[in-house]
Amino acid sequence: MIVCVCNRVSDRDIARHVRAGYGFDDIQLELGVATQCGRCESCARDVVAQCSASHPVAAIQLASSILESRAWNSSAHLAAA
């Protein structure tokens, strides 16, 4: 479905960017959503929110990298000692 008619941005385009870790402001900058007439902003924000809730990929990847980092592991060992 086309969300932004002015810049021809679909819900799939927005979802792809959300899965890549982009927030609304980043998507707006990259794709131009809600930068012309502004009528699509609420729908675009809804798509971002819905995709963020169903695919929190960036948060999972960040949490995994923190747990696997050397600093995290050394802190855990110090607390256990």
The confidence band for 56, taking pLDDT boundaries of 50, 70 and 90, is low
What phi and psi, each to the nearest 5 degrees, are found at residue 2?
-80, 125
Q: d(Cα 43, Cα 55) in Å, to the nearest integer?
A: 18
Give me the pLDDT at residue 55, please: 57
**pLDDT at residue 6 tops 50:** yes
**Yes or no: domain 2-80 corresponds to CATH 2.60.40.1510:** no
